[in-house]
Chain A
Amino acid sequence: MKLIVAVIKPFVIGEVKAALEAAGVEGMTISEAHGFGRQRGHTEVYRGSEYEVDFVPKIRIELLVDDDQLDELLAVLINAAHTGTIGDGKVWVLPIETAVRIRTGERGSDAL
């Protein structure tokens, strides 16, 4: 099992969700995040004084997948989140020991 973590532009979340669902994903978790990469932040101006806002709003997706699905779903996610402009975000993958569905006690792939 793998955990896909993706930090993406907030406005592409609708397309990403639709594309992942179409590819068979049955659940995911998202959260609002702030951060910066090469895009850096932006500048705000109040009465002539400039404020550097370093962290820009992003959406973080966490998605548990089976090993054999990883490459396909990764490609789907990246394709849907891609705009080609700076600030598109990043995706990384972690190995997962196990997962448990709390209601039934199912473990591993059955819990996905």
Chain B
Amino acid sequence: MRSADTLWVLLGAALVLFMTPGLALFYGGMVRSKNVLSVMMNSFIAIGIITVVFVTFGGSLIFSNDLGAGLLGNLHLAGFANLNHPLPGLGGVHADPMAIMVFQLMFAIITAALLSGGTVDRIKFTSFLVLIVAWFLFVYVPIAHWVFSPTGWLAHLGVLDFAGGTVVEINSGFSTLAIVLVLGRRRGWPGEAMAPHSVPLTLLGAGILWFGWFGFNAGSSLGVNHVAVIAFVTTQIAAATGMLGWVLFERAREHYPTTLGAASGAVAGMVAITPCAGFVSPMAAVVIGLVAGVICAMAVRLKFKWHYDDSLDVLGVHGVGGLCGMVLLGCFATKSVNAAGANGLFTGGGFHLLSREALAAAVTAAFAFFVTSIIAKVVDVTMGLRVSQEDEFVGLDLSQHAESAYSLGGGGRLGQ
């Protein structure tokens, strides 16, 4: 074991954890002031819930020895026990196995938190909790095992996904689409104005996400080496060009480059570079970020055309950005950057890698959508996904949590 590698992974874990409150701010600013605490809580509570489920047995199902078909692990590592040997298939990694597990826990947390972005203003809090636990077990755990564990079937097939273009991004996007189709639209949407109540919060959140994403991507090298540096650099570049791509698109189309667009574009760029980070050159990252920024700026408009209320664009930014990243990885991956990677379509590898990336993207999207649809339907039938019409009108801060985000004096008297 190398202590520097363990330190790197632990540092990465702390950075990725910080992304979740960052996401809470990013989302919180985009809703109306009567729902800001609710949406921030739905991100924050994921830290508590997913930690318990992941440590007790979820993490083991992802990273322990495969049961046979590459579909799921066993319970050998349940409770974070037996972590004194390298994780199966990761014998070449010198970081402490438990550090890797806690690093991976943070990925599961933020992916669950991402689901809250589509369901704002109307989902019942208790139902959301049940939903993310079931979703974590039946959707996240299998996909993470297939891709992140070298014993999983997609990893075995040669699919490259550096930090979770499938597991985190495509998964969260298409799972959210499944949930919002069961949940229904916000009352009054899309006719009624539901403008963001505080774009400054959103911008701060995007900045925290950007900071944390270095842990997400560069940390995924699981060691202090050149691949970590490449992943760090490509993350910075794609975030920058993603922001520019989105803002240029807005300028061309609506004449105003918006602050919200800049924040969204940076996130879109980072989403797209996530699967690519340690496998592509810095100049490829320029293209990947730019393409993702423009395509995601276009994708967030589709909901107005097709009338699905993916309120804060989890599908439009994470789902579509993740698809962009996987396809572009199949084009731009190069062994000159990372010998453990592969060559893509533009780098002499032909269609071999591209076809595998496309397959993994399609399988993830379909599996996430299908299974999450069933889970959402079951939760809806048994406990109801939505709050009442009155609670929705009053706002979820008050109706779900008995709190107000902004109280300007007149706080009433202390109750008994």
Alpha-carbon separation in the docked complex, A95 to B25 (Å): 53
1/0 contact string of A48-59 vs chain B (CB within 8 Å): 110111000000
Residues on the A chain within 8 Å of B370, using CB: none
Is B22 on the interface with A (CB-CB < 8 A)?
Answer: no
What are the interface flags for A62-86 relative to B under an 8 Å C-beta threshold, 1 for contact and 0 otherwise?
A: 0000000000000000000000000
**Are the CB atoms of A46 and B196 closer together than 8 Å?**
yes
A-facing mask of B242-263, CB < 8 A → 1, else 0? 0000000010011010101100
Decide: B195 and A47 in contact? CB cutoff 8 A.
no
**Do A51 and B297 have beta carbons less than 8 Å apart?**
no
Most buried by B among A48, A52, A53: A48
Given contacts A49-B190, A49-B304, is CB(A44)–CB(B195) below 8 Å? yes
A112 to B250, CA, bound (A): 55
Q: Classify the secondary structure of A's interface with B.
A: strand
| Binary CB contact string for chain A from 10 to 53 against chain B (1 if under 8 A, 0 otherwise) | 00000000000000000000000000000000001111110111
Number of interface residues of A (CB under 8 A): 9
Residues of B within 8 A of A45 (CB): 250, 254, 256, 258
B304 touches A46 (CB 8 A): no
Q: How far is the CB of B300 from chain A (nearest CB, A)?
A: 5
* A76–B117 alpha-carbon span in the complex (Å): 54
> Hey, which chain A residues are within 8 Å of B300, CB to CB?
47-48
- Name the distance in Å between B248's Cβ and chain A's nearest Cβ: 14
**A84 to B: closest C-beta gap in Å:** 26
**Closest CB of chain A to B77's CB: distance in Å?**
41
Interface string of B188-226 (1 = CB under 8 A from A): 001001011000000000000000000000000000000
Contact check: which of B190, B253, B258, B297 meets A46 at CB < 8 Å? B258
Residues from chain B with Cβ under 8 Å of A48 in the complex: 250, 253-254, 297, 300-301, 304
Cα-based distance from A49 to B250 in the complex (angstroms):
11
B67-84 with Cβ < 8 A to chain A = none
Specify the chain B residue showing the minimal Cβ separation from A53. B193
Contact (Cβ within 8 A) A46 B195: yes
| B313: interface (CB < 8 Å) | yes
Chain B interface residue bracket vs A: 10 to 19
A49 to chain B, nearest CB (A): 6
Using Cβ atoms and an 8 Å threshold, which residues of chain A touch B274?
A: none
A52 to B190, alpha carbons, bound, how many Å? Answer: 13
CA distance A47 to B258 in the complex (A): 8
| Nearest CB of A to B155, in Å | 35
Closest residue of chain B to A44, judged by CB?
B195
Q: How far is the CA of A40 from the CA of B250 in the complex (A)?
A: 24
What residues of B have a CB within 8 angstroms of the CB of A53 in the complex? 193
Q: Which residues of A contact B253 (CB under 8 A)?
A: 48
CB-CB nearest in chain A for B30: A46
Residues of A within 8 A of B264 (CB): 47
Establish whether residues A47 and B261, one from each chain, have CB atoms under 8 Å apart when the complex forms. Answer: yes
* Complex Cα gap A45–B255 (Å): 10
Nearest CB of chain A from residue B298's CB, rounded to whole Å: 9
Of the listed residues A47, A48, A51, the one surrounded by the most CB atoms of chain B closer than 10 A to its CB is A47
Shortest CB–CB separation between residue A71 and chain B, in angstroms? 42
Cβ–Cβ < 8 Å partners of B261 in chain A: 47
- Contact of A51 with B193 in the complex, beta carbons under 8 Å: yes
Minimum distance in angstroms from A53 CB to a CB of chain B: 8
Residues of A with C-beta under 8 A to B258:
45-47
- Do B193 and A52 touch (CB < 8 A)? yes
Query: With A and B bound together, what is the CA distance between A45 and B199 in angstroms?
Result: 12
Shortest distance from the beta carbon of A42 to any chain B beta carbon, whole Å: 12
* Assembly CA distance A77 to B304 (angstroms): 47
CA distance A49 to B301 in the complex (A): 8
Chain A positions within 8 Å of B, measured between CB atoms, are 44-49, 51-53
Task: Add 17 more A-B contacts to A47-B260, A48-B301, A53-B193 (CB < 8 A).
Answer: A45-B254, A45-B256, A45-B258, A46-B195, A46-B196, A46-B258, A46-B260, A47-B261, A47-B297, A47-B301, A47-B313, A48-B254, A48-B297, A48-B300, A48-B304, A49-B304, A51-B195
- Name B residues whose Cβ lies closer than 8 Å to a Cβ of A: 30, 190, 193, 195-196, 250, 253-254, 256, 258, 260-261, 264, 297, 300-301, 304, 313
Question: What 8 A-B pairs come out closest when comparing CB atoms?
Answer: A51-B193, A48-B301, A51-B195, A47-B300, A46-B260, A45-B254, A46-B195, A46-B196
A-B contact pairs, 13 of them (CB 8 A): A45-B250, A45-B258, A46-B30, A46-B260, A47-B260, A47-B261, A47-B300, A48-B250, A48-B254, A48-B304, A49-B304, A51-B195, A53-B193
